[in-house]
Structure 1
Amino acid sequence: MREFDYQRAPDVAGAVALLGADPDSRFLGGGTNLVDLMKTGVERPARLIDIRELPLDDVESTPDGGLRIGATVTNGDLAAHPEVRRRYPALAQAVLAGASGQLHNMATVGGNLLQRTRCGYFTDVSQPCNKRVPGSGCPAVRGEHHNHAILGASDHCVAVHPSDMAVALTAFDAVLHFETADGPGELPLADFYLPVGDSPHRETALLPGALITGVTLPPAPVAALSRYRKVRERASYAFAIGSLAAALDVRDGVVRDARLAFGAVASRPWRASAAERILIGAAAGPETYAAAADAELAAARPLPHNGYKVDLLRNLVVAVLSELAEEAAR
């Protein structure tokens, strides 16, 4: 590990100023991803700027009935918050599915959204990787890729984004807030993660030197009946091989509203907009749910060893939406 300096940020403006004075620095929240990457040599910051004591650790209701979540709220506090559990249960479930209790108590919301892929070629500095060294190649395309992308990938990168939390936030139209030297800004989470294209080293649209300060969830009555389902290769402490955040509003046998986002199938959380368009206004039932999944997965381009994800996601959509419809009918 490269030797590094450590400094605690006095306030939000001070944190931004510290990073602006030394672009080779990194903000430190819980450090559950960053420190791991420092140990392997993927990340080599000259300084860590500790932001854990900034006043960004609250979950508050917004005047319009949404929620504002501070960037340093821990995953554990987020999942346990009564308003999150009541208004956006899929978000609480996604957080709890993401890691161990110890990690929940350390990891932060802002850091979770910025965590990087767990692709073995990315984390092994002896291997080429276009995310680490642009132009060096993507060995996963012809190598080990059973847990890699089936949607939105390119010949330059087929890695998937590892966050469970980000999948649920994407389903509910979250908006990211940040602070720069020029003042505050915001960005829909749907626009935060960049398409992989031919520049996989550019992962987000966050401005250079910006500090994430929080996330806002707009009011979404449909989210009160929602679920996050994660499929993984072992029962716990494992990243998804496929996941789904879903919400459903069914009245008189007709789908009035629906939200779906897939995880572990693309370089970013994948909002299933095509599936939503099929669902809304259609008769609720397994055939409709299957047709919605097929509409979204028609764009899938699986590699030789990850085609199973197409059937996995299709089955997830049908199963989870059927469960939500049954729950709504009670």
Structure 2
Amino acid sequence: MPLAKKIGLTVVVLAVAAGGAGWVLSAPAKLDDATLAEIKPGDAERGRRIFFAGGCASCHAKPKAEGDERFKLGGGVELKTAFGTFVAPNISQDKQDGIGAWSVGDLANAMMAGVSPTGQHLYPAFPYTSYARMKPADIADLHAFLKTLPAVAGKAPDHRLGFPFNIRRGLGLWKLLYLDRKPVVDFPAGAPETVEAGRYLVEGPGHCGECHTPRDSTGGLKKPEWLAGAVAAEGSGVVPNITPGQGGIGNWSAGDIAGYLETGFTPEFDTVGGAMVDVQKNMAELTPEDRAAIAAYLKAVPAHPNGYPAKKPATN
């Protein structure tokens, strides 16, 4: 066989092999049987805490919803990003349009593995890269609480994404890089229990790093700059640095942080604004012990300088 043909055949074989490997590696992977076996029937009262810690209403209820309207989870909120527009789905108890027919295992697979009941990859606009660190028991409690909420008819619109971001299969390779259930901050042995509790709330259900950490070109979090602040996913604003580093909240006491989460007032008596309004509203529903734990964690994380470009000085 001529050399040129041999080289051509080799290239084809390698391309087919690479494509096959990519197809296998990108397959949606659900939780293993051992993890699913840990999931027992949940408690709705405990699940209410997880509902607010996870910020479910912030994306899945109508914008600026108040009171009982925050529990109507019909979806529809749009997140406009460089990758396209993501639309929060209906997660109400409607069995046709929402997730009323989902089992607790279905919810666990969505939140911890980013896989739908039909076996499709979910887009990480749904912050499963953080929820993956949650305890299965907390997922069960959340499932029990969601079962107490009303059904809302009507499917949310589809995401509006261009090529190649509309190819869900590619998310399997993305997950290999960014879906990790290990804690982000590795504290030394003997760290205070309050700090450990705060780590769970911030890194898991609270998913604070999803907004407060810079992202790379593929949308993955830059964990070496954890909580250093970032360019906002929408618009040209920034999400602040919440580490003790320069530009962060190092001059805030733990009491200042806990108080801000409860009341929305900074130590300078400024008020919460922007997307943080909804977050603070959720944090106010947690226990004082939870807010104290979050504060203790934020005082203990590594300090980083601001993770977003410095603002250009105004020109006349």
Same fold (TM over 0.5): no
- TM (normalized to structure 1)? 0.28
When Rg is computed on C-alpha atoms for both structures, the one with the higher figure is: 2
- TM (normalized to structure 2)? 0.29
Greater per-residue helix proportion: 2
Greater per-residue strand proportion: 1
